[in-house]
Amino acid sequence: MAMYHQGNRDLQDAFGTRALADRMEERIRRPAFTEEDAAFVASLSFFFLATADADGHPDCSFKGGDPGLARVVAPNLLVFPDYDGNGMFKSLGNIRANPHVGLLFIALEDKPRRLRVNGTARVALDDPLMAGFEGAQALVRVTPVDIFPNCPRNIPRMRVMEAAPHVPRCGVPRVEPAWKTYEMFADVVPPRKA
């Protein structure tokens, strides 16, 4: 699968960047995760997930947890859990309809850094790897096609002040978000599965 399509090429030609784009693909793009990629992904407590439905209508979501939320378990496999949420299943539903995904991993603290992962995904409701993710109700398996670092120059330096209290943690009682008790939702919020 080519990294660039005609729309990319037309703009590369318009801005004179085709040779640069080709060099980037040749030198920094890879189809499998490196050990450095795996360590970087495991160090983060969040990432952004882009999906699209069967008609190509996009959706982008924030996925958060503790460091290690997403894990590279093999050079050709990244996994992450799905936790109890708002029940809309926009991202996971899109993956079931259209497996093409884009993930963006960003470090905001001491050394800003970005890693982009484009590939295909599959949702599993009974995956054996779910046991390694406290509170997971599903697991997403991502097979990479294009992995490449992205320039960090415009990433602001920020600090995490505290971990989110809603992240499932072993031995810690679950904290429900307040919105689940609002009158407009309370009668339709199902019991937590995980």
Beta bridge partners of 114: 106, 150
- The predicted structure's pLDDT at residue 156: 86
- The predicted structure's pLDDT at residue 157: 86
- For the chain, which ranges sit under pLDDT 50? none
Count of Cβ atoms closer than 10 Å to residue 69 Cβ: 19
121: its two tokens: 């995904």
Instruction: Tell me which DSSP letter residue 132 carries.
Output: G
- The predicted structure's pLDDT at residue 110: 83
52: its two tokens: 């699209």
**C-alpha angle 44/140/68, rounded to 5°?**
20
- The predicted structure's pLDDT at residue 163: 85
Mean pLDDT of the chain: 93
- The predicted structure's pLDDT at residue 134: 94
- The predicted structure's pLDDT at residue 5: 94
- The predicted structure's pLDDT at residue 23: 95
Q: Whose CA is closest to 173, among 138, 134, 139, 137?
A: 134
pTM, two decimal places? 0.91
> What's the residue count for the chain?
194
Report the side by side order of strands in the sheet with 113-124. Answer: 58-64, 46-52, 100-107, 113-124, 136-150, 77-83, 71-74
- The predicted structure's pLDDT at residue 1: 55
